[in-house]
Structure 1
């Protein structure tokens, strides 16, 4: 639940449709449901995970104070990110498209945090593949 409370509901022999209707009716006002997992009764195997599509997702942003380089076509920016490998500093330019950038100034770029995290992760994987 949105308040942090956990609701355990057993014995849904009536089917998922009726359970989903029940949870929509009961938890749509002050307490909103975030997600629920459906398990088999005997094996406790997870059959499905269902998330509430109406919940507002908190989007974190990050501001990068780096000298960015716009590409020739003007569709995005290259951001130099330093990585350290075997006591050497390697700088990789990571491309961020204009559609992913929230704000651009002369010395900073603002993007969503999850895009930054995925870019760093992909850059590490690429470096690992390059130095194999």
Structure 2
């Protein structure tokens, strides 16, 4: 199944819509989370490149990330959108952001993970 595909067959003959997370979208989400929830597209691409150990992002990486964002985001401009990503300044904006719900959930999850890694006092 293609990772960009967003529809999967459900039980009982109907079709269930599911979010199939593209690994590039995951990298975008992690970058945005590290950058406070929103950043210019070029900054996000540079961050992902650095995480991959690249000094300068190749054009192919920039294009792949931009396409993954566009495919997942679908032009959502409302921070209350149900997905993970949106364009806070409109469809022509180059600023990428996590939706309010995604930012809250991911920050909460990060905090829980950090608490689980801390040694417990006896």
Same structural fold, with TM-score higher than 0.5 when normalized by the shorter chain: no
Which protein has the bigger helix share? 2
User: Structure 1 length normalisation: TM-score?
Assistant: 0.27
Question: Which is bigger in relative contact order (C-alpha 8 A, separation at least 6)?
Answer: 2
When the two structures are superposed, what TM-score results if normalisation uses the length of structure 2?
0.29
Higher Cα Rg, which structure:
1
